[in-house]
Every structure is written in structure tokens, then in C-alpha cells.
Amino acid sequence: MTVSSTRFPRLRARSIRLLTLLALLLSACPVLAQDWTYRVRPGDTLWDLGGRYLKPDVPWARLQAHNRVADPYRLPPGTPLRFPIAWLRVQPAPARVLAVRGAVQARLGDSGALRPVVEGERLGIGTHLITGADASVTLAFADDSRLQLREHSHLRLDQLSRYGHTGMVDTRLRLDQGRSSNRVTPAKGPASRYIIDAPTATSSVRGTQFRVSAGGQGRMAATEVLEGSVQVGNRRGERRVTHGQATRNRALDARPDMPEALLPAPVLVRTGLRLDPLPAQIAWETVAQATQYRVEVVRADQPEILVFARDTADTTMTVPDLPPGLLRLLVRAVSADGVEGLDAQADFEVRDQPAPPLTVRPVNGETMASPRPRFEWSQVEGAASTVLQVATEPQFLQPVLEQEGRGTRVRAAEDLPPGDYFWRVASRDGNGHRGRFGQPVALGISDAPVDPGLQPPQAARGQLTLRWQAGEPGQRYRVQLDKRGDFAQPLLDQQVDQPEVTLKRPWHGTLHVRVQTIDDDGYGGPFSPAQQVALPCRTCYGAGAGALLLLLLL
């Protein structure tokens, strides 16, 4: 048969494409004709090994013939035995849900009903995962490889299986939308594989750490390698991407781009890096070519578990209050096409013990007339002291007052200007470890004069008695009387335990009166505004005189 010259170029081009695709598949997937090698251990027999590793329809005698074992009863320890991959048992290996943050749903197949994903459950082949805004889910596979699926992502579990007890695992996933971060356990044999298919390229590895973006919504599909190397390809060709590199995957009909260096990790501003207590503001230096930044907080012991994530165009961010534990801050630069760079890292700890005290007073929303109010709280078992913070905003990014005290009360160490504040307390144990702060309590400080509400005095048998409104239990009172009103040389300056004072020799004319409360710790609040009392002549006083009342509201 003769092939026309006009058809030959077309056949040749098709052959080249098929060979390229075959080369990609062979590099991404192990050849099933390969063998898995086992080292004989003392006490091993061929029939025991066959029962453990071979498919039920493969007899152990075939294993003997394949390895040319002369005496099946004598297997010297250390002898290599070759198991063809096609003969090995293949079992389902569902993925385990390690952590869920926010709204994450799953369905089986393309038309199944959506349901919430629950931490600890097992997900099998054919499961579709969908994450909402500010949501993420972390999966663990049979070989303990981990995948973190970020917000607004769709992932399908295409293949989840393991080869018996060999340790080899076959994990194949399809990322249709969004982003994933992957930490893959090093391969334990030729059949081990971890493959992520995205719309424009396939990423296959045998043990590494990398991120995959499906692209869309102004972001470029890309594979970003943080450790090891990843083979990235499609029907147009492939690229080997190594540590600190990324390849952009522009289209299925275009070979992935040449690998380029990831944007460098931002430099954290240590003077602004204050992560204890939370909320806290962090800052970093600008990275050239970055249009925005990705800030994450993950578990330090399991960095695939995401506890906080935000994108920002600024170089500062407020990290909110977070669950207790040893955590890790990650900050990375993001290019204009959405490729994410290397991480800046900082570990920190959020403690939940000792527990914060319950606040007693001032109560939420209370306005105090004193510029140095006293704060009270409950006693916490195991707390050696308590830390008080006062701030003008509920996140306490820049406290205006922080002081420590023993017991269950403390007075502000300095005057607070009039305004709106928030206060909170945390416990510190005998080793100096401080627990989490409690909820903020709103507080107002006012310098407005207190309206005392006048009551004329009572007079009897030549005595004058002044009374005012009682304060809190345990408070004492300092009362001053003055004829001129400047109180430079008061006629009376006396401390009393009860909210009244009696004058043995009253006089006539105008009397100026003011009262100060003194707390049980000796702190004297502001004097009340002076009030005037007009007194009749002394001879007008006597038994049965009309009662005049004085009430000084403190």
C-alpha cells in the first residue's frame, strides 16, 4: 500500500502528538510491568507472602517461578523478591477529613445531593468537594499525604487505592476550580503516585510540597513548588518544576511555560510583629512585582490545617483572636496573575490556661466619673496575678493602659482622659504564663459635673446636719465647708464614715459645701461640684425648725 505524500505530514504530526502524550503518561504513571521489590525477613515463606500481597487469583507458585526460587522452604533473609505490580492486591483507600473551616460541602458523583462535610469522616472515590468563602478542608490519604483545599474551590476524588500492605498508594485528584496545597509523602515503590489534574495541565509527584491553581477569575493556572520537584504537563508537552519555581499553564493546547522563580518571601517587620496577645497587627516589607499578599495562620504541627486566611493589598494586617495552640504565621507575595511566592514564617503560641477571670465592675457600658476607676473581677483557680488592659478600640492593638495586680481588683495606675474605652483581663499562673484575655467590656470616662441635687439642712437645738447620697459599701467621705467658695481655707475639712456631718455651732449666711468619696484602698475621687446653702440667723435655729435637705449625688 502506498501512502500519498499529502497525507504523510498529517500522519506524522498525529504520531508525534501521540508519542508526546504517551511520554507524559509514562512519566506521570508507573508502568504496571514494573516490579515491587520485597526483602525477605526471617520466618517468611512464599505462601505467606503470596497470601499477604498477591491478588486472590494469583497463586504463590507464580511468585516462585517469577523469582526463580529453587527451594520455597528456604528463603534466606535479605533476599530480594520481585512482585509484578499487576499481581498485587488493590484495595480502596478512602481519604480522611482532618479539619474543616467554614462552609464545606460534598456530594457523590455529578448529581448527588450536597451535604456538609464533617471532621473525621471518610470520603471515597467519586466524591466532589466544594468550599465556600473563607472556608477550607484538609484531607489525609492512605500514605499520610495531605491536601488543603482553599476557599471557592471544587475538587473531585478520582482514584483512592492502595496496594495491599506494600505502602504504595495511588491517589488521583481533579481540581476543577480554586487552589490546593499539597504535602506528599515520599513514594515507597514504583506504583506509588500522586496526581492532580487541572483544566490545563497535570501535576504528578513522588514526594514533595507544592501548590496548584486551577486558574480563572483573573488568576493564572499554575503549579508552585516549595520542596522537591513536580512533573507538569499536558498533550502539548511537559516541564520539570523544582524547588522555588513555578510554571504557568495558560491553556490545554499550549505547553506549560518555562519554570520561573517564585516571588521571594516578604521580610516581616519584627518591631511590628506582636502576636501575643491576639488580636494583633503584623507588618512586612514590600515585595517588588507583588500586587497583593496572602496571609495565613496554620497549625505549627500540621501546617496543612488552615485556621485563618486573608488576602490584602496592604503590607499590614490585623490577625484576630484564634483558637489556642502552637500556630504558624505565613505571609507570601502574589503576582499580578495570581502566582503565589515563598512563605515568610513565624511561630507563636495562643494559650488558654489559666482561664480569664469573669469581670465584675465596671459593668458593660457603664460611665464612670473618676479618671482612675477601679476594676474588679472573679478569682481564678491557679492564677497568681491578673493582667489588666484598657484600650480605645475593642481589638486592643495599642492599649493605653496595661498593668498587673494580685487579688481581684486593681485601680488604674494613671488618669484616663474623658472618652470611650474597653477593658479586659487575663490570668497569669505561678510560672509567669499568661492565658487568653476575656471579652472586652465597654467603659466610659466622663468629666461632666455631677448634679448633686440640693436638700436644705436639718437644724435642732443649735446643731446643723448635712446629708448626702450614700456611695458604695466600704467607702468613706471627705466633706468640706467654706464661706467664700474657693476652699483655700475651709471652715470644715473632715472625713466621716457615714454620708452625713453635724455642725455643733452653725453660722448664718451662705455656706459652700462639697463632698469627696474615698474608696477602701485610699483613693479619693473628684470632689462634687460645690453647692450653696443659705442659712438663716443662728437664733432662728431651734427644735421644730422646718427641715431642709441637702443631697450630694456622688
Q: Return the closest-CA partner of residue 36 out of 169, 188, 193.
A: 188
| Domains within the chain, CATH numbers bracketed | 35-87 (3.10.350.10), 91-261 (2.60.120.1440), 270-350 (2.60.40.10), 359-445 (2.60.40.10), 458-540 (2.60.40.10)
Distance in angstroms (rounded) separating the CA atoms of residues 516 and 370: 11
The x, y and z cell numbers of residue 260, run together, are 520561573
Bridge partners of 405? 386
**539 half-sphere exposure, CB direction, 13 A CA radius:** 0
With H, G, I as helix, E, B as strand and everything else as coil, classify residue 13. helix
Instruction: Kindly list the distances between the CA atom of residue 547 and the CA atoms of 20, 436, 514, 550, in Å, as whole numbers in the listed order.
Output: 110, 56, 20, 10
The x, y and z cell numbers of residue 42, run together, are 526471617
Q: How far is CA 533 from the centre of its chain?
A: 62
Residue 521 has what DSSP assignment? T
Distance in angstroms (rounded) separating the CA atoms of residues 182 and 197: 13
Bridge partners of 248? 222
H-run or E-run covering 12: helix 8-28
Distance in angstroms (rounded) separating the CA atoms of residues 19 and 130: 36
Distance in angstroms (rounded) separating the CA atoms of residues 39 and 55: 19
Tens-digit pLDDT string for the chain (554 aa):
343 444 444 444 444 444 444 444 444 444 445 899 999 998 888 989 999 999 999 999 999 999 999 888 889 999 999 999 999 999 999 999 999 999 999 999 877 899 999 999 999 999 999 999 999 999 999 999 999 999 999 999 999 999 998 999 999 999 999 999 999 999 888 989 999 999 999 999 988 999 999 988 778 899 999 999 999 999 999 999 999 999 999 898 899 999 999 999 999 998 667 787 888 889 999 999 999 999 999 999 999 999 999 999 999 999 998 988 999 999 999 999 999 999 999 999 888 888 899 898 899 999 988 899 999 999 998 899 999 999 999 989 889 999 998 989 899 999 999 999 999 999 999 888 888 899 899 999 998 765 554 455 555 556 777 877 777 777 888 988 888 888 988 888 889 888 888 876 556 677 888 888 888 778 887 888 888 777 765 544 444 333 344 444 44
HEC string of 432-477 equals CCECCCCCCEEEEECCCCCCCCCCCCEEECCEEEEECCCCCCCCEE
Cis preceding linkage at 303, omega within 30:
no
Bridge partners of 18? none
Distance in angstroms (rounded) separating the CA atoms of residues 191 and 186: 12
Give me the DSSP letters along 210-222. Answer: EEEE--BTTB--E
